[in-house]
Amino acid sequence: GNSVTQMEGPVTLSEEAFLTINCTYTATGYPSLFWYVQYPGEGLQLLLKATKADDKGSNKGFEATYRKETTSFHLEKGSVQVSDSAVYFCALISNRDDKIIFGKGTRLHILP
């Protein structure tokens, strides 16, 4: 079945450091890929998405590229801020059904 695997946290970085959170997926067909972010005490917010191979999603300085050959969708940011501290979820929707499949989440701590 469809699944998402992302790097385990917590990830702790200093402010202005470079961020990478790895995500790989297994899916039949041609899924759409997403990164969601969950700030403390809040619901999930869509951070970025990509709907086909080689698409790059970007938002708020975060980027991720849909790599079909490596079945990956790694999240990157060049310079993190304390306000980026949150839990990040990689997710997919298959084109064969309509449920979002989430990874387990990666908790990110940014130190000032």
Partner 1 sequence: DAGVTQSPTHLIKTRGQQVTLRCSPKSGHDTVSWYQQALGQGPQFIFQYYEEEERQRGNFPDRFSGHQFPNYSSELNVNALLLGDSALYLCASRTGLTAQETQYFGPGTRLLVL
Which residues contact partner 1 by CB under 8 A? 4, 32, 36, 41-46, 49, 51, 89, 91, 93-95, 97-105
Tell me the closest approach of the beta carbon of residue 102 to partner 1, in angstroms: 3
Strands 11-14 and 106-111 come out as parallel
Nearer to partner 1, 32 or 84 (CB): 32
Q: Are 91 and 103 in contact (CB under 8 A)?
A: yes
Nearer to partner 1, 37 or 80 (CB): 37
Quote the tokens at residue 40. Answer: 């403390």
Nearer to partner 1, 50 or 80 (CB): 50
Backbone angles phi, psi at 86, to 5 degrees: 180, 180
Cα separation, 95 vs 39, whole angstroms: 28
Tell me the closest approach of the beta carbon of residue 46 to partner 1, in angstroms: 6
Cβ atoms < 10 Å from Cβ of 15:
13
Nearer to partner 1, 4 or 86 (CB): 4
Tell me the closest approach of the beta carbon of residue 15 to partner 1, in angstroms: 26
Block residue for tokens 């949150």:
86
User: Which amino acid is residue 91, in one-letter code?
Assistant: A
Tell me the closest approach of the beta carbon of residue 49 to partner 1, in angstroms: 7
